[in-house]
Structures are given as structure tokens and as C-alpha cells.
Amino acid sequence: MLTNLIFIILFMLGFYALIMKTNLIKNVIGLNLMEAAIFFWVISFSDIGGEVSIHKFGETMGKFNDPVPQALTLTGIVIGASTAALLLTLIIELNKFSGTIDRDQIEELND
């Protein structure tokens, strides 16, 4: 299935960026890419071709998509945003101390 393929490729690209790139900002991007891949997969996998799960006034609606994965994804996105903000904050702070955001040039982060 195409959805699964895209999810896995995106996820692995993100994971690769997370562990192999030496730029810390790229690591954050990798982490976000992993999260985004999962959210994308959750939403597109639970799409059964129905309508958006919102009732309209006085209309009888057809088949709805499952609202639960969408709600879970919203929560997940918010958590991802908070962690990304926190990570970037720490990177700003680290840049102030060591003058670089390259993992290779900061001792003790090499593993």
C-alpha cells in the first residue's frame, strides 16, 4: 500500500536525520519528521473515503471517517510542538555557551 510505503520512508528518513546528522537543528527536524510521518499515516490510514466527521444542520450525512484517530493526532501534534519548542530553546542556550550547534564540535555529545 502506498500510504504505508510513504510512512515508512518518511519515518526512516527522519530517524536517519536524528541519529546521523551532526547539526542539532537538523536532528530536531528529523524528530519532527518522524512524528509527522506517524500523524500522516494515522490520518490517511483511518480515511475510509467517508465525510469529515462533522454533522451539518438538518442534513442526513453519509458515512463518517473515524474521529478518534484525528483527535489523538491533534493531541500528538500539540505535544510534538511543545517538545520542538523546548528542544530549540535548549539549542539556543547551548549555542550561547559553546558557540556552535554542531554535535561533532561539542564534546560529550558524540555517541
- Residue 32's φ and ψ, nearest 5 degrees, are -65, -35
Q: Of residues 23, 40, 47, 105, which one binds another protein by CB under 8 A?
A: 47
Q: How many residues bind another protein (CB under 8 A)?
A: 62
Output the smallest distance, CB 74 to another protein, in A: 6
The torsion region of residue 49 among left (phi > 0), alpha (psi -120 to 50) and beta comes to left
57 near another protein (CB under 8 A): yes
The answer to whether residues 42 and 72 touch, using CB atoms and an 8 Å cutoff, is yes
Q: Which of 56, 60, 100, 105 binds another protein (CB under 8 A)?
A: 56
How far is it, in rounded angstroms, from Cα 49 to Cα 45?
10
100 binds another protein (CB under 8 A): no
Cβ(82)–Cβ(72) below 8 Å = no
Locate 100 and state its grid cell. 556552535
Q: Which amino acid is at 111?
A: D
- Residues interacting with another protein, by CB under 8 A? 1, 4-5, 7-9, 11-12, 15-16, 18-20, 24, 27, 31, 34-35, 38, 42, 45-48, 52-57, 64, 66-72, 74-76, 78-79, 82-83, 85-94, 96-98, 106, 108-109, 111
